């Protein structure tokens, strides 16, 4: 197993929301985490067909370019009534003609797709957020940690916190959408606590347990 001694890790993302979440999750462990953006690294094309594929593409590109271990995740919303869509193409559903991303538009697109298949009752609007974290090293070695959280798609969007599709995702057992939760509520886990809430926090918890010795 490759060592993480030195405690320097590149977070292979240019997504400000993801970077904030990773910073929150890594803070208790004293890691010096720098983003791919800080290294002026280009964003590689995500050509994979699975979350694991795309997480590896990003993490390995950053590790190879910097000579440091790199951590990346690929995540998405998988809606049962849409046969798992948007899935690995979750970010693509937010793309605009000018190359930017509009997640308000993406949430609207998801809602239109649900209406088109007649998914109007909560029981018909089940889905999950999935996150796969990849820890990659400059020699190409990699480890994967997967987290999922089940929930229901609501409409209209609720809350202005979080990012992406958070305002339309109501996790099972809660009355707040991810868009209405603070970062602490959404993560729902710190070292020494038994359970994480968000998909990214659950994946990170597995990484922490395997690599950082935290239960």
Q: So which residues are the catalytic ones?
A: 74
The contacts of residue 40 (CB under 8 Å, 6+ apart) are none
Alpha helices in the chain (DSSP H): 16-26, 51-66, 103-116, 183-187, 199-207
DSSP label at residue 188: -
Question: Concatenated DSSP letters for 95-119?
Answer: B-TTS-B-HHHHHHHHHHHHHHTT-
For residue 16, say whether it is annotated as part of any ligand binding site. yes
For residue 89, say whether it is annotated as part of any ligand binding site. no
For residue 173, say whether it is annotated as part of any ligand binding site. no
For residue 74, say whether it is annotated as part of any ligand binding site. yes
For residue 14, say whether it is annotated as part of any ligand binding site. yes
Of 151, 81, 158, the C-alpha closest to 112 is 81
Indicate the SS3 state at residue 139. Answer: coil
Are the CB atoms for 60 and 142 separated by under 8 Å? yes
For residue 121, say whether it is annotated as part of any ligand binding site. no
For residue 24, say whether it is annotated as part of any ligand binding site. no
For residue 2, say whether it is annotated as part of any ligand binding site. no
* Binding annotation: 13-18, 45, 74-75, 163-166, 186, 199-200
* Binding annotation for Mg(2+): 45, 74
* Binding annotation for substrate: 13-18, 75, 163-166, 186, 199-200
């Amino acid at each position: 197993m490759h060592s993480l001694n030195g405690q320097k890790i590149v977070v292979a993302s240019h997504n400000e929301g993801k970077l904030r979440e990773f910073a929150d999750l890594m803070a208790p462990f004293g890691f010096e985490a720098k983003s791919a953006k800080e290294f002026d690294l280009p964003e590689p094309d995500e050509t994979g067909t699975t979350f694991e594929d795309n997480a590896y593409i990003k993490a390995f590109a950053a590790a190879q370019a910097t000579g440091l271990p790199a951590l990346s995740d690929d995540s998405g919303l998988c809606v049962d009534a849409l046969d798992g869509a948007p899935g690995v193409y979750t970010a693509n559903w937010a793309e605009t003609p000018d190359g930017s991303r509009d997640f308000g538009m993406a949430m609207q697109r998801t809602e239109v797709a649900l209406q088109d298949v007649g998914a109007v009752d909560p029981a018909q609007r089940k889905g999950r957020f999935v996150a796969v974290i990849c820890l990659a090293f400059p020699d190409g070695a990699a480890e994967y940690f997967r987290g999922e959280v089940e929930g229901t798609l609501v409409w209209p969007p609720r809350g202005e916190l979080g990012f992406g599709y958070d305002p339309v995702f109501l996790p099972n057992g809660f009355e707040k959408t991810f868009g209405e939760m603070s970062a602490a509520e959404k993560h729902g886990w710190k070292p020494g606590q038994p359970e994480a809430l968000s998909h990214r926090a659950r994946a990170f918890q597995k990484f922490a347990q395997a690599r950082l010795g935290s239960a």
